[in-house]
Structure 1
Amino acid sequence: MSTSASPAPVDAVARIAEISRHTNETRITARINLDGSGVSKLATGIGFFDHMLDQIARHGLIDLDIQADGDLHIDGHHTVEDVGITLGMAVAKAVGDKKGITRYGHSYVPLDEALSRVVVDFSGRPGLEMDVHFTAGSIGQLDTQLVYEFFQGFVNHALVSLHIDNLKGKNAHHQCETIFKAFGRALRMALTPDPRSAGVIPSTKGSL
């Protein structure tokens, strides 16, 4: 699965990372290219979750390879949360010192009756504010409560501030898909190099 994309800036440092995280509950490997074309290879054992991760890749123009082996015989909690943790670690490693990035990103995404807004700041401080009231307890094999756990794991390890609001929605599938699409688009904006700030850390503190 792929989409076309503009090439990375000439002489840009490759923003690529691979993280493997193994616990007694999950074994996860995440490979990421922040300047990719939206190619994804996903196998978490939870079909709808794979579909949502694909939205991040496609709409963020991020190449994403996530392979997860979790204790799904219990439930999906450990797998979804630990994928969020591992992806956050990979993003933090790939983005490096954050010199020259836009830093802030936001997106509104509709899908039929649903509309979501996501705003992200690569601040170096973890924080999640999420206002989402799903209209169903599960979508396929994904417990909708785990969407929060995924993003909490991500922000804790990517060290970003993240605001997620589902503004409208009656269909839980549509609600969830607009969130992940908007998240991908917000990441894309925040991580895009700002040519006017090349080599500069976007903070008055001088570090993030």
Structure 2
Amino acid sequence: MTESLFLEGIKSIEQMNIIAKKISETRKIKGLTQEELAEQSKINLRTIQRIENSESEPRGKTLHLLCNVLEIDIKELIAGDNSLRENNIGTKIVNGLFLLALNLVLMGIIGFLTLDSSANANSVLGGFLLSFFIPFFIVTLNKKMNGMERMLKFGFGYIAYFVLVMIIHGFPTGFVTGLFPCLLISLSVLYFGADLIKNSE
């Protein structure tokens, strides 16, 4: 019940922002001030300001009056809201698939350089270097993301790999091959990397 109310709240905020943006943009295209729009639509100026600032969503008569003055089709406004929401869902799916693929690739690289039966000292050294530089590169591209979010998005593959190797091979094998130290380095850089960059600047 609480979750559905929360989701409804998010949808309402998204819809309010879309309507506010459309009304504001159309008003400016038509060369109207907020005062002129209020006068022509017979709506209080403060109401117009609240709508354009996404503080309230116009409904019923208010929405009809605004759409009439701005010559906006209400059906198009609602359809635009739905298509934008569908695009947001599509973008989230694509981003999720990309993160999954990226995590699998990172797991494969570190695993190949350390856990593989033909791994030698040079490949393990390469694994250690990559376990630092790849996450550091990710951090430089995502400085504004907090450490926990970055670690969960780009490091969940490392965490899953750690658990999987623990179950199949045990801790000693994961540690001796260098896999676990590499995973720990990668996760640490993802979490604390932004602090390293700030200190170096």
TM range (shorter): under 0.3
Higher relative contact order (CA 8 A, sep 6+): 1
TM-score, reference length from structure 1: 0.27
Larger radius of gyration: 2
Give the structure with the higher percent strand: 1
TM-score, reference length from structure 2: 0.28
